[in-house]
């Protein structure tokens, strides 16, 4: 799945509510309280989830991840954008436009 890198630009990303989260062997796993569905975010996805404990922007997430990991900024932005798109599709995060 390819997602344009500008999809989340200028928007705030926030966690959706209603999930139980736990660490299992370094991976973040979640369960939806309403559906009982499980999600494994992995290690890097789990780190993104931790960073979303406070509302953030794509740019803020990429800035933080680039300081923590040895990754090219453009590659990081592409990967984080694709991951956020998956989280959005699953209802795990919500996107707010900062323009309103």
Condensed to tens digits (0 to 9), the pLDDT of residues 26-55 reads: 899 999 999 999 999 999 999 999 999 999
Q: Which domain range does residue 41 map to?
A: 11-91
pLDDT of residue 26: 87
pLDDT of residue 4: 46
Please report whether residue 79 resides in a domain. Answer: yes
Please report whether residue 98 resides in a domain. Answer: no
Please report whether residue 5 resides in a domain. Answer: no
Which residue positions in the chain have pLDDT lower than 50? 1-5, 100
Please report whether residue 43 resides in a domain. Answer: yes
pLDDT of residue 30: 95
Please report whether residue 2 resides in a domain. Answer: no
Q: What domain count does the chain have? A: 1
Question: What distances in angstroms separate CA 31 from CA 23, 35, 46, 54, 98, one per listed residue?
Answer: 12, 8, 13, 20, 29
pLDDT of residue 100: 46
């Amino acid at each position: 799945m390819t997602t344009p890198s500008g999809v989340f630009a200028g928007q705030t990303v926030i966690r959706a509510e209603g999930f139980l989260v736990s660490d299992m062997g370094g991976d973040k796993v979640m369960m939806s309280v309403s559906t009982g569905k499980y999600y494994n975010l992995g290690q890097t996805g789990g780190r993104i989830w931790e960073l979303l404990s406070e509302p953030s922007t794509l740019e803020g997430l990429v800035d933080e991840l680039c300081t923590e990991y040895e990754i090219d900024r453009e590659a990081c932005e592409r990967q984080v954008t694709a991951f956020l798109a998956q989280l959005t599709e699953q209802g795990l995060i919500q996107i707010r436009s900062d323009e309103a």
